[in-house]
């Protein structure tokens, strides 16, 4: 299976978000407000506007702009930018030149046409979204490519930019990765601080199972063979092997012997992800290794230009 096939259809991923939802609309308005004060013309105030553009162009001026990739990248964020222009000026025409999720190199991504004042006012906001989301999708695709031929899946974390989690996790999916829990409300993950406050791994698992007897699988973060065995005997359905070397993970998988599903996090890089994913046969056949990149999918974004 190729990395592109593994990533799935960009269109299918695009349809997993409602781009006209109140949440997306609010995010766009806040982003615009950072640059032009009130965000939307309908909410004009004394501090709203683009001082430079307003001084140079008191009336509408026709213009056309093109978003161009300056290097190899996976495109993410086109539907968001399209909604940005629709909210700011319904008269702007936005035309895609590539598809969401497509890997491109030094070519036009989209064209915008309409009042040049709107294009100037929205240039940086549009670029920020495209650069950020495409950077995440591009880096994700690179990691996914390293997993080709293995049973491992790539998962993200909650280490996202405040306010942008929905979009950044979307970009991970565009790149071919999968999402871990979206927030604290949709999965049980017992971490080191939980264990310390509860008085041990077994007690923490017991309390979680008592609360959610028919709920989601209980996931426990473990750091050594002792904690791992304690979690397994307590009935954890998913264990997170944290900050372990490849050799330590291999030993842990043999210790688990199919008693729980496995995730690995910490210290995973492009250079070693393949080694983590390979694992000792036949144990990999009994466990699904899901690799969580601790924040890397959203902190090493690639910058692109340009708008011209």
Residues annotated as catalytic are: 124, 159, 191, 221, 242
Cα separation, 7 vs 176, in Å, equals: 3
Give the CA-trace dihedral at 154, 189, 186, 80, to 10 degrees.
-40
Q: In angstroms, what CA-CA distances link 43 with 76, 84, 91, 198? A: 29, 16, 18, 51
> Which residues share a beta bridge with 263?
240, 290
SS3 string of the chain? CCHHHHHCCHHHHHCCCCCCCHHHHHHHHHHHHHHHCCCCHHHCCCCCCCHHHHHHCCCCCEEEEEEECCCEEECCCHHHHHHHHHHHCCCCEEEECCCCCCEEECCEEEEEEEEHHHHHHHHHHHHHHHHHHHHHHHHHHHHHHHCCCCCCEEECCCCCCCCCHHHHHHHHHHCCCECCCCCCCCCEEECHHHHHHHCCHHHHHHHHHHHCCCCCCEEEEECCHHHHHHHHHHCCCEEEEECCCHHHHHHHHHHHCCCCEEEEECCCCCCCHHHHHHCCCCHHHHCCEEEECCCHHHHCCCCCCCEC
From the number of C-beta atoms within 10 Å of its C-beta (0-12, 13-18, 19+), residue 226 rates as exposed
């Amino acid at each position: 299976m190729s990395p592109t096939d593994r990533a799935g259809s960009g269109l299918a991923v695009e349809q997993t978000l409602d781009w006209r939802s109140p949440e997306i609309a609010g995010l766009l308005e806040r982003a615009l407000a950072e640059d032009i004060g009130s965000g939307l013309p309908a909410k004009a105030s004394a501090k709203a506007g683009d001082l430079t553009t307003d001084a140079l162009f008191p009336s509408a001026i026709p213009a056309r702009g093109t978003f161009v990739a300056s290097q190899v990248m996976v495109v993410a964020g086109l539907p968001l930018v399209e909604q940005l222009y629709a909210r700011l000026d319904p008269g702007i025409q936005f035309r895609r030149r590539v598809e969401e999720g497509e890997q491109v190199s030094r070519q036009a991504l989209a064209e915008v046409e309409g009042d040049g004042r709107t294009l100037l006012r929205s240039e940086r906001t549009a670029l920020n979204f495209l650069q950020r989301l495409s950077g995440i999708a591009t880096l994700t695709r690179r990691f996914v490519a390293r997993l080709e031929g293995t049973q491992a899946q790539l998962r993200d974390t909650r280490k996202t930019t405040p306010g942008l989690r929905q979009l950044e996790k979307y970009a991970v999916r565009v790149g071919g990765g999968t999402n871990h829990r979206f927030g604290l409300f949709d999965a049980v993950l017992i971490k080191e601080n939980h264990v310390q406050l509860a008085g041990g791994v077994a007690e923490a698992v017991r309390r979680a199972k008592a609360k959610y007897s028919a709920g989601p699988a209980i996931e426990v973060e473990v750091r050594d063979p002792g904690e791992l065995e304690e979690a397994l005997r307590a009935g954890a359905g998913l264990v997170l092997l944290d900050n372990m070397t490849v050799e330590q993970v291999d030993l842990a998988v043999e210790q688990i012997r199919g008693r729980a599903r496995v995730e690995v996090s910490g210290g995973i890089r492009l250079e070693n992800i393949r080694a983590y994913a390979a694992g000792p046969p036949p144990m990999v056949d009994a466990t699904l290794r899901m690799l969580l990149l601790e924040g890397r999918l959203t902190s090493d974004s690639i910058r692109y230009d340009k708008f011209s």
